[in-house]
A and B are shown apart, each in its own frame.
Chain A
Amino acid sequence: MGMMDKLPSETAPEDGRAVKLDVRGSRVSFPSKKGRFVAVDGIDLAVKEGEFVAIVGPSGSGKSTFLMALDGLVPLSGGTITVEGKEVYGPGPDRAVVFQEACLLPWRTVLDNVAYGLELRGRPKAERHAVARDLIQLSGLAGFEQFYPRQLSGGMRQRVNIARALAADPAVLMLDEPFSGLDAQTRETMQGELLKIWDERKKTAIFVTHQIDEAVYLADRVIAFSKCPARIVAEWEIPFPRPRPLSIKHSDEHRRIENEIWKVLQREGAFAAH
């Protein structure tokens, strides 16, 4: 069914789409009491334009650290990261993160939170508000422009979080377990909402999660990380056509892929008690 269980070095883009994000031999390590602690150990990854890649792995597997390295907030101790051919040395307007915690500025309205990235780049108020209003509309937050974060539910805050990242119009959108703090129902709704927004904008996206079903439902390609230090252990192409209704999560094929990924992660000791 078009699924592959092979090493990443073999996955060269062959369909003519440009590689947006190219990671080669990336390593992240931190000094610790017992010498250097290696969090990410030699990851290669090429993400094509408009591709949605999900990274799964156990908690504490270094997948969030990997994402922070992609964002430039954590320095690499080896290897390279290039976005649209330019090497990454720090945060830049070509990337934006949807954080695990919504990280909204509590003293700002929804509108000014969404416009934040553009404001930092010195865009005039009228322009950034126009962009923000579009994304607020798209995220189903119309009518909440003047609300403050404390007046919103957890799900709505994550919508603002997503809208804020999209407003910055990055080449690569990075999402760090954005729904892990939500209850099961809200999480499902938000997965559907995210795909609706994504179908509209077709942003190159990297989504980190420890929920296998979430990864399979959202992504074109799922990559499994090993336990710390993070290495790629397997990857799968997800064959479902888009747009994807939430109901496909309950199809046999969906479950079968989930199972396969689960087995690989279990073999890696991902679910060992800790």
Chain B
Amino acid sequence: MTMQHSARAGGLASARNATAAWLLHHATIGRPALLGTLSMATIVLAWQISATFGFIDTLFLPPPTEIMRALVEVVTSDTFPRDLQTSAYEFGLGLGISILVGGTLGVLAGWYRPFDELLRPIVIAVNSVPNLALIPIIILLFGIGTTSKIVLVLLSCIVVMEMNTQAGVENVDRQLKRMARSFGATDRQLIRTVVLPGMVPFFMTGVRICVGKAVVAVAVAELFGSVAGLGNILIKAQSEMNMAVMYAAVVLLTVIGIALTQTAVLLERLLTRWKD
């Protein structure tokens, strides 16, 4: 409407309409962020006020300012770099191996029917076990070091990567495969030029899901037994009854989880720009 109108009207009027349209457009995009911030701010403010006026027991639910102070204290402590490094190592290595192994298995299962039949029962079994329930066993088997955390990440993620990658391979447009064959593509060329690029959307969805799963796996495994890590900060604070630090650790894990997931979302969009 605005566009049609501004196209017909001349000179100043059309310029004013264009500006109005631009403002409207950007206001529409900005509104979700604005309202979202507003609702979050309201909750935090209400929480702070309730704590200040003694409506809530600050021993168990310290005010936001107290948690922020604890957060700064945690992040600036001498042991924090080691904790962060440990968790990042467990997360990175676990996720990396999962993507590599799960992706490869998925391509093979999507391409060779017999391999799919071979793999299927294992994938269904591993996918059906509640992974977090395995933590006590994994810690007995692999100790409280980083290995047990990586094993849990693998158990949570490989199967997800395998299933998504396989779905991606199987969903590659048949007509595109026929076109490639018609131009004389060999199996290898077909995989390189059609199947691998074509499976990217499914594959990246798998990566995004696994980023979230890996963060949870690392944090929870560290709660059960660890010598360092972000989960270790939380469990140590619990033994000291330091409520503020516990909340600070939760906030930290949440923020890191969101940041990593959003990075994966961005990467997913970047790699699937060719889609409509």
- Give the B-binding residues of A (Cβ under 8 A): 71, 73, 91-93, 96-97, 99, 101, 103, 105-108, 116-117, 119-121, 148-150, 168
Contacts and interface: CB of A to CB of B under 8 A. Distances in A.
Given A73-B182, A120-B189, A101 B274 contact: no
Interface string B264-276: 0000000000111
Nearest to B194: A105
B184 A106 contact: no
Given A101-B175, A107-B197, A107-B274, A71 B182 contact: yes
B153 to A, nearest CB: 30
A106 B189 CA distance: 17
B176 interface: yes
Given A116-B193, A148-B274, A150-B276, A103 B184 contact: no
B82 interface: no
Contacts of A93: 184
A150 B193 CA distance: 18
Given A73-B178, A148-B274, A150-B274, A105 B184 contact: no
Given A107-B274, A120-B189, A91 B197 contact: no
A178 to B, nearest CB: 13
B185 A120 contact: yes
A73 B184 contact: no
B184 A91 contact: yes
A150 B275 contact: yes
Nearest to A119: B193
A91 B186 CA distance: 11
Given A71-B182, A120-B184, A103 B275 contact: no
A96 B183 CA distance: 7
B179 interface: yes
Interface string B169-213: 000010110111111110001000110011010000000000000
